[in-house]
Chains A and B, each alone.
Chain A
Amino acid sequence: MSEHDSSKVVKIHEHLHSHLPSESALRVKALETLLVEKGLVDSRTIDAWVEAYTDEIGPKRGAHVVAKAWTDPDYKRRLMEDAPSAIDELGYLGTATAHLKVVENTDKIHNLVVCTLCSCYPFSLLGIAPAWYKAAAYRSRAVRDPRGVLKEFGIEIDDEVEIRVWDSTAELRYLVIPQRPDDTDDMDEASLAKLVTRNSMIGTDRDLKPDTQGLR
């Protein structure tokens, strides 16, 4: 093999094993390195954000808020009157919850949250929005046919229950307080928080059970 040929083989080998990222990943890398160079973002901040929102935050904070509202009437009153301040009491205030409204399910009312424009969502309380929340099918049908959407999630709402659909914006996002399950009088706040599902805080889940693990 000539020197030219062996150099060509090495090049082909390198190419095959280069593991070139996808087009989108390359564009994101380009954007991030430019923003870091210009001092507009810090790569450690980005890494910390990704780690926190991929693994840690999830809907646990929202479940804590709900369980506290169930067990502490004064807290619930503050939460309903001024949600950002009440969220801040627990240390969960973030940019996505600076303008937050809390809506409560009752026997006669079911609340469902959507963002018809894009995907506005209280992510510092609930983590990153689920795939379906970002789908055009949900964004259009939640307003037009909320009962049909709820059926897809296995939730049948009686005709006499009013469904209120809340359209989120960047300036006003929503958190649903689901009804506290029956037979949970002896449970403490931490145990109750485990019963709260992410979907119940968006409105695609309704009747929580005392024996189910939440945070789905």
Chain B
Amino acid sequence: MNDQPASLKPLASTDGMAAFEEPWQAEILAMADTLVQRGLFTANCWSDALGLAIKEANDRNEPDTQYTYYQCALIALERLVAAHSVIKSADMTERRMDWENAYLSTPHGHPVHLK
């Protein structure tokens, strides 16, 4: 797995591209839709947060790719969860490190579990 972007220009050239290049991209939308359905935040909140993250990426001149889009979706979801639940940004950073350590300490072929 890598994070290499694919060009989105011209538009029609990406017409047959899979909606998800990697599983984590689908998981973001699944979590966002589930949390909207649960009422943690509204569809409007999600749209506004995603729109803002996309605008920020555009202002930073990030490439106009599906990879950038899902990066923005991840940023938007992390912000909304931090704003609307007890889970805060520091919890996410700590848990991300826990997962990295779990992967690094698990031999190849074995299931990875948090310690």
Contact surface of A with B, Cβ cutoff 8 Å = 13-15, 17-35, 38, 40-41, 45-46, 49-50, 53-54, 95-96, 117-120, 127-132, 134-138, 149, 152-154, 169-171, 199, 204, 216
Inter-chain CA distance A131–B105, complex, in Å, is 36
Tell me, rounded to whole Å, the shortest Cβ–Cβ distance linking A121 to chain B: 11
Residues 53-112 (chain B) with a chain A CB within 8 angstroms? 54, 58, 64-66, 69-71, 74, 77-78, 81, 85-87, 91-93, 95-96, 98-100, 103-109
Some 26 contacts from A to B, beta carbons below 8 A apart, are: A25-B23, A26-B99, A27-B78, A27-B96, A32-B31, A34-B81, A35-B35, A38-B85, A41-B38, A45-B30, A49-B26, A50-B26, A50-B30, A95-B33, A95-B37, A118-B50, A131-B69, A132-B15, A152-B10, A152-B11, A153-B12, A153-B15, A169-B44, A204-B12, A216-B15, A216-B16
Residues on B with C-beta less than 8 A from A20 are 100, 103-104
Residues on A with C-beta less than 8 A from B98 are 30
Inter-chain CA distance A171–B38, complex, in Å, is 17
| Contacts A28-B74, A137-B11, A154-B12; A18 near B103 (Cβ below 8 A) | yes
Tell me, rounded to whole Å, the shortest Cβ–Cβ distance linking A188 to chain B: 28
Residues on A with C-beta less than 8 A from B11 are 132, 135, 137-138, 149, 152-153
| Contacts A22-B22, A130-B19; A30 near B99 (Cβ below 8 A) | yes
Contact of B1 with A170 in the complex, beta carbons under 8 Å: no
Residue of B nearest to A198 (CB): B15
Inter-chain CA distance A32–B23, complex, in Å, is 13
Residue of A nearest to B17 (CB): A131
Residues on B with C-beta less than 8 A from A153 are 11-12, 15
Contact of B31 with A35 in the complex, beta carbons under 8 Å: yes
Contact of B95 with A30 in the complex, beta carbons under 8 Å: yes
| Contacts A28-B24, A118-B50, A136-B58; A40 near B12 (Cβ below 8 A) | no
Inter-chain CA distance A80–B16, complex, in Å, is 30
Tell me, rounded to whole Å, the shortest Cβ–Cβ distance linking B98 to chain A: 8
Residues on A with C-beta less than 8 A from B50 are 117-119
Task: For A46, give its contact among B17, B30, B44 (CB under 8 Å).
Answer: B30
Residue of A nearest to B49 (CB): A118
Task: For A23, give its contact among B3, B30, B36, B44 (CB under 8 Å).
Answer: B3
Inter-chain CA distance A119–B27, complex, in Å, is 16
Residues on A with C-beta less than 8 A from B107 are 13-14, 17-18
Residues on B with C-beta less than 8 A from A152 are 10-12
Contact of A130 with B108 in the complex, beta carbons under 8 Å: no
Kindly name the residue among A23, A128, A134, A199 whose own CB sees the greatest number of chain B CB atoms within 10 A. Answer: A134
Contact of B92 with A27 in the complex, beta carbons under 8 Å: yes
Inter-chain CA distance A170–B33, complex, in Å, is 12
Contact of B47 with A18 in the complex, beta carbons under 8 Å: no
Inter-chain CA distance A132–B47, complex, in Å, is 18
